[in-house]
Amino acid sequence: MDTRRIIVALDFDTVDDAEAIVDRLGEAGQSYKVGLELLTIAGPTLATRLAGEGKDVFLDLKLFEIPTSVAGAVRAAGRLGATMVTVHAMGGSTIMEAAVRAAADFPHLRVIALTVVTSLTDTDLVAIGLSTTIEEQVIRLARLAQRAGCHGVVASPQGATLLRAELGPDMLIITPGVMLRAELAAGTTTEHARPAHPTAAIRAGATHIVVGRSLTRAPDPAAVLAHLAGELAELRTHN
């Protein structure tokens, strides 16, 4: 499997820690997620460095603002060399369409819509006034994102099967909330409400997986990445 489809989440509170993982992974690390925490700490420097080195940069900004502001942020992401940027589907069609129009000036940039944050449960939706299930809301927002021209969506591994059937073969499906088998067997807790193993996510229809602490906090991150790449390549061969 193309290791660019394994996105390493640089969820760190210091630039030094993030750069240390990038350096340890070397050529094997081809895709990185830079989120709000690291971007706030480091500014655009690290994202620019990664893009300059030919890495894929997934800017997980979860943009949810007026259309003009969202378009401006997407253009800024494009100028940094990012390959993906996230926007909240809950913002509605006008916001997503503004993001897609702004991204059109950067052929390498894809707009990815966040459907439902993967830490939320059905109970959380009720608390914010939505009388629907996570599954129903994910499908509703994914359809809206596709009509708005977004290139893909973010969803849990469990949601990928329904989304692939609903959206067809061309939409990207990015799945955070993946964990290694040992962690799942041990019942390791995570902020994601619906975790799964990376191979399960790919079988379900995901095009990309986002791997965080399972890899970045491991004693040998490069070995974990190589093992994951091997498993996913084998899965692809058998399919």
188: pLDDT confidence band, cut at 50, 70 and 90?
A: very low
Q: Residues 147, 93: contact at Cβ < 8 Å?
A: yes
| The pLDDT of residue 186 is above 90 | no
- Give the mean model confidence (pLDDT) for residues 149-156: 93
Active-site residue (options: 62, 110, 192, 208): 62
- Give the mean model confidence (pLDDT) for residues 183-207: 64
pLDDT the model gives residue 231: 84
65-91 residue pLDDT tens? 999 999 999 999 999 999 999 999 989
| The pLDDT of residue 239 is above 80 | no
pLDDT the model gives residue 189: 47
User: Does 156 or 222 have the greater pLDDT score?
Assistant: 222
Distance of CA 196 to the CA centre of its chain: 15
pLDDT the model gives residue 127: 81
The secondary structure element, H or E, covering residue 35 is: strand 31-35
| The pLDDT of residue 31 is above 60 | yes
33 assigned to active site = no
Q: Which tokens go with 87? A: 């926007």
- The structural domains of the chain, ordered by start, are 3-238 (3.20.20.70)
- Give the mean model confidence (pLDDT) for residues 28-50: 93
User: Does 2 or 106 have the greater pLDDT score?
Assistant: 106
Output the CA torsion sign for 51, 56, 62, 63: positive
Q: Which tokens go with 67? A: 């259309």
Distance of CA 187 to the CA centre of its chain: 23
184: pLDDT confidence band, cut at 50, 70 and 90?
A: very low
| The pLDDT of residue 180 is above 90 | no
The single-letter code of the amino acid at 187 is: G
| The pLDDT of residue 158 is above 90 | no
| The pLDDT of residue 192 is above 50 | no
